[in-house]
Amino acid sequence: MPLALAEFNTADAADVRPALTACLAVPRWVDAVLAGRPYADFDALLTAAEKATPLHRDEVSAAIAAHPRIGEKPTSTGADAEWSRSEQSGVDNAGEFAAANAEYEARFGHVFLVCAGGRSGAELLANLRSRLGNDPETELDVAGAELAKIAALRLRKAIDA
């Protein structure tokens, strides 16, 4: 159940930290968003979240670990797992993703990360394949930008604008 913005603004930081961490598992980002409270409106909250990016490559690597593979159902419970299920609802070609994910992980050493909300499985698979040509540093930067998009999408689910 989303928090009202007024509740988010006044709640104890320890009470809203888990909701923000479910949006993006980067402690520096969570701290920056918390430090900006109170927010006049949801757009101000989104602006603060965007200003806390880009993410550092070590933050990207750590945050990626909190995400399931595209095409696989999350095994954990909680808001972030439910959001992943919803975001990946357009993936209807999970079998094709198994081989592509394996190739990606062999190349980069981490799961493929993309903001999947509203995108088809074919589009996501094409995105994965196109990113195989990136060098590892560039790919971490791309994954970081995707994490920021996911965070904004999830903030819309966590905080009632």
Q: What's the CA gap between 89 and 40, in Å, rounded? A: 33
Task: Check residue 31 and give its pLDDT.
Answer: 98
* Residue numbers in the chain where pLDDT is lower than 70: 71-94
Q: Which residue has the tokens 């999970």?
A: 94
> Helix, strand, or coil here: 72?
coil
- Give the model confidence (pLDDT) of 73-92 as tens digits: 555 556 654 555 455 545 56
Task: Check residue 142 and give its pLDDT.
Answer: 97
Let me know: does 26 contact 55? Beta carbons within 8 Å.
Answer: yes
Catalytic member of 63, 67, 104, 154: 67
Task: Check residue 49 and give its pLDDT.
Answer: 97
Task: Check residue 21 and give its pLDDT.
Answer: 94
Task: Check residue 6 and give its pLDDT.
Answer: 97
Told to judge if 67 belongs to the known catalytic residues of this protein, a careful annotator would answer: yes
What spatial distance separates the first Cα and last Cα of the chain, rounded to whole Å?
Answer: 13
Structure tokens at 89: 């609802």
Let me know: does 48 contact 39? Beta carbons within 8 Å.
Answer: yes
